[in-house]
Structure 1
Amino acid sequence: MPPQYSPSLRLRLPLLAFLLETIFILLFVFFVKIDHHEQVHTKFDRKTFMRSYAEFQDVHVMIFMGFGFLATFLVRYGFSGSGFNMLVAAMSIQWAILMNGFLLPQRHYSREIYVNLKSLIEAELCAASALVAMGAVHGKTNPVQLQLLAMVEVTGFVVSQWILRTLLHADPLYSIMLLHIFGALFGVMVSWVLHREGIKPQHEKEKTDRRSGLFSMLGMLFLWMFWPSFNSALVYHWDRGLKLTVIYGTYLSLAVSVVIAMSISMLFSSKGKINMVHVQSSALSGGVAIGVAMTAVHAPWVAMMIGFCAALLSTLGFRYMKSHMLFAFECHDTCGVLNVHAIPGILGWLAHLLLQLTSTESTIAVQFAVHHIFVLLITVCMSMVMGTATGLFLKWSFWRSQQDRKCFDDQAFWEFPNLVEQK
């Protein structure tokens, strides 16, 4: 039953924000240092640093502008979609720096956490997993709940990486790219626990128009253009062959995804027209899939086939799965993260498995397959269990969830000068 009181967060949001920032600052005082070993004295070092900084900027634009504008597709949720994205990303990056430093230290002989471009990129990728999870509950949660969701999600994702790297000795580059699967399933489970009848079959404010759709398309373009940097940012510069392979493969996969997303959207439309929501989301599915499989993809045609299959499954999922998920499982996925991130991510995992098996001896293939399956099972189980627990925690009435009629509406949290009453 929806709450009957006003969803004012006057005390809760500032108190939580001040508390978290105070804790972060104190932890940074005692544990975090600037990495002065990242020398830029020689010409080679300066070139390496500038290339790393350019990739960092690309990922930075994706996190704050790409995901931010992409979430503005709801006609009355533009302020919240972009504003809460910035709030959650800023909080998540700080927490991810600390969590990565404590659990995944680069220098095992020191207790200090060193900040450099690599650690910042890793933190932003962890924040991306939180933003993916947030996409499933957009419009149905307040900023206090979103901050708490992000803190738990980043913690769970870093812990899952620690388990994969420590117990299964998984490749760090491969394990961090599982962020799409972890974040999507985490968010879907939170949305399932927080489900409310007031948004079924479709909330009256859950709609888009030409202006909001154009802003969302702008966010998609930022993500689409910079996704090669997103996938290749953590590949070492001295491994030039792998880095170029990842960049070119990601670009080709994304290019195919655009063509297939538009084609499938028109083919399965009752009026034979392209659905902009399908294009905004499914055009990115190739980048998600190739990101998980990138260390095993060495041929351009393989990258293109992965993009083809990812866009096909993603667009069909948007066309049919979202409504069926709501009716069959009472799970409302606002941004369709299951179709954009989870399904293409699992497709990329399967492609990685098959490609590795074809190039591995039969005696080792079974061991590799079992190892690969355990990596996925641990990721899926941890994301779903932690997502369910987080949903139960956020369901507590103390966090003041907005009323059903205030879902997908900026007026619950933002000032509008034309609506201010003089007192």
Structure 2
Amino acid sequence: MALLEIPVFGATEWAVVKYLKINDAGGSILIHIFACYFGLGVTFVLYRPSLNEGHPKETTSYQSDLLSVMGTLFLWVFWPSFNSALTFKGDDQHRAVLHTFIGLSASTITAFALSSMLSKNGKISMADVQNVTLAGGVTVGASVDMMISPAAAYVLGILGCIACMLGYKYLSPFLAHRLRLQDQCGIHNLHGLTGLISSLAGICAILLASEETYGPSLYQTFSHRAPPEGDPLLAELQEFIPDLEAGLGRTAREQALFQVAAVCGTIAVAAVGGLLTGVVLKLPYLASPSDENCFDDELFFNVPPDYNYASSPQDVWSYVLRDANKTDADWCNKKTEHEQEE
């Protein structure tokens, strides 16, 4: 799948950047939305009805939850650098880091609250902590370097968290049973829905952007709104910003329309590319695993002897205690043997 996805992604990114020339510093459109709908296209073709009722091995363990939370922490800490990597150094980059931290903080707080509220026993779900806490980083992505207020970034984080949480609880089962879309990892919730919210927020921020708010830096943040070559206004702006390059002279409305075209085009290309990739993956000579072998690493990897033993938190702790008891017993036996020799 990766061999087919990467060329499609590269072609899509090239076309969008070269011809539509959009603002998408955090990759909400070109990364999150594309990857989401490409994956959904694949899973539509590879639909397995028997998996809708669950699978014995579709479970987590204490170890897997612990490792997943560690991964979440790494993503949380480094997400601001990801969102700000392609922005202009200076104010734009500072705004990107600040907005990302605010969005992530909002989604994290909301995730813990919603997780316990939506749980039948009122307890927090580790699956929510691992996924929904990151929603804010995606929802601020398209507008992360723009002059949105901290309050707007906070609201975007909350909206992304709510959409992601409700998607996991209600939308994913609906997609699986009604639309043949088995989204096993909830990609549509964490990347698709939040990517769409982010794109909408970016369009609104573009429409509200003006020279009164940004000053001459407007034409750096929105480089395609800069005056074209030969325009006297360009020479005036270059007195304030010497490295300012000529743009296309777009208005805010025109730039917003190009953003809409990029979202629609990305979804269409990703979905079609995913469908065609699914058709290739379904070819008989590729030997897809049976339903019984799904969610089983042993089919493709060498696994340790305790692979099937440590499958639940109780099993993991029993395994740890068993080793501890064995170690203590061995130490006692060695001590007794040593005393007898003396």
- The 3-state SS of whatever aligns with 2:141 is helix
Q: In the aligned structure 1, how far is the partner of 2:297 from the partner of 2:252?
A: 53
Q: Deviations over 1:71-116 (max 9, x none)?
A: xxxxxxxxxxxxxxxxxxxxxxxxxxxxxxxxxxxxxxxxxxxxxx
Q: Report how far residue 211 of structure 1 moved.
A: 2.2
| Preserved contact between residue 25 and residue 143 of structure 2 (Cα < 8 Å) | no
Is 1:169 the equivalent of 2:11?
no
Q: Describe how 1:268-287 pairs up with structure 2 within 5 A.
A: 268-287=118-137
Q: Does the 8 A contact of 1:165 with 1:171 survive in 2?
A: no
The yes-or-no answer on 1:368 pairing with 2:255 is yes
> Does residue 323 of structure 1 match 2:173?
yes
Query: Do the aligned partners of residues 205 and 357 (structure 1) sit closer, same or farther apart at CA in structure 2, a change above 3 Å counting?
Result: same
Alpha-carbon distance change, 271 to 380 in structure 1, aligned in 2, over 3 angstroms = same
Structure 1 letter corresponding to 2:87: V
- Please name the residue that 2:325 is paired with: none
Structure 2 residue aligned with 1:350, among 200, 203, 225? Answer: 200
Question: 1:123-162 to 2 correspondence within 5 Å?
Answer: 149-162=1-14
Deviation at 1:261, TM superposition (A): 0.9
Structure-1 residue corresponding to 2:295: 408
SS in 2 for 1:418: coil
For the 8 Å contact 1:262–1:274, the answer to whether it is kept is yes
For structure 1, which runs of at least 5 residues remain unmatched after alignment? 1-148
Q: 1:297 to 1:334 in 2, by over 3 A?
A: farther
Is contact 1:178–1:345 with CA below 8 Å preserved after alignment? no
- Asked whether 1:188 is paired with 2:40, we answer yes
Distance, in Å, in 2 between the alignment partners of 1:284 and 1:271 is 24
> Counterparts of 1:96-115 in structure 2 under 5 Å?
none
**Whole-Å separation in 1 of the counterparts to 2:256 and 2:25:** 18
| CA distance in 2: counterparts of 1:402 and 1:319, whole angstroms | 28
Kept in 1, the 8 Å contact 2:25–2:141? The answer is no
CA distance in 2 between partners of 1:417 and 1:266 (Å): 35
Q: Shift of residue 219 of structure 1?
A: 0.9
Amino acid at match of 1:393: V
Aligned to 1:283, the other structure's residue is in SS state helix
How far is the alpha carbon of 1:280 from its aligned partner?
Answer: 0.8
- Residue 327 of structure 1 and its aligned partner are, at CA, apart by 0.9
Partner of 1:380: 267
The counterpart of 1:210, out of the listed 55, 62, 65, is 62
Secondary structure, counterpart of 1:306 in structure 2: helix
**Which amino acid in structure 2 is aligned with residue 368 of structure 1?**
Q
- Letter aligned with residue 183 of structure 1: A
Given that 1:201 and 1:326 are in contact with CA atoms closer than 8 Å, whether structure 2 keeps it comes out as no
Percentage identity across aligned positions? 32
Would the alpha carbon gap of residues 393 and 417 (structure 1) be closer, same or farther in structure 2, given more than 3 Å must change?
same
Following superposition, the deviation at residue 342 of structure 1 comes to 0.8
Task: Name the residue aligned to 1:234.
Answer: 86
- Describe how 1:19-34 pairs up with structure 2 within 5 A: none
Q: Tell me the distance in 1 between the aligned counterparts of 2:27 and 2:162.
A: 25
Q: Shift of residue 266 of structure 1? A: 1.3
Question: How far apart in 1 are the matches of 2:24 and 2:191?
Answer: 19
Aligned pair partner of 1:300 in 113, 128, 150:
150
Q: CA deviation at 1:213?
A: 1.2
Q: Secondary structure at the match of 2:32?
A: helix
Shift of 1:320: 1.0
Using the alignment, how far apart are the partners of 1:179 and 1:351 within structure 2?
A: 17
**Contact 1:256 1:304 (8 Å CA) reproduced:** yes
The verdict on how the C-alpha distance between 1:246 and 1:419 changes in structure 2, with shifts beyond 3 A counting, is: closer
Deviation at 1:253, TM superposition (A): 0.6
Structure 1 distance, partners of 2:17, 2:46, is 32
CA RMSD of aligned residues (A): 2.1
**Which has the greater radius of gyration?**
2
Q: How many residues align?
A: 269
Whole-angstrom distance in 2 between the partners of 1:417 and 1:280? 25
Measure how far apart 1:326 and its partner are: 0.9
CA contact (8 A) 2:21 2:258 kept: no
Compute the displacement of 1:176 (Å): 7.5
> Matched residues in 1 for 2:305 and 2:25: separation?
49
Report the secondary structure of 2:301's partner residue: coil
CA distance in 2, matches of 1:295, 1:223: 19
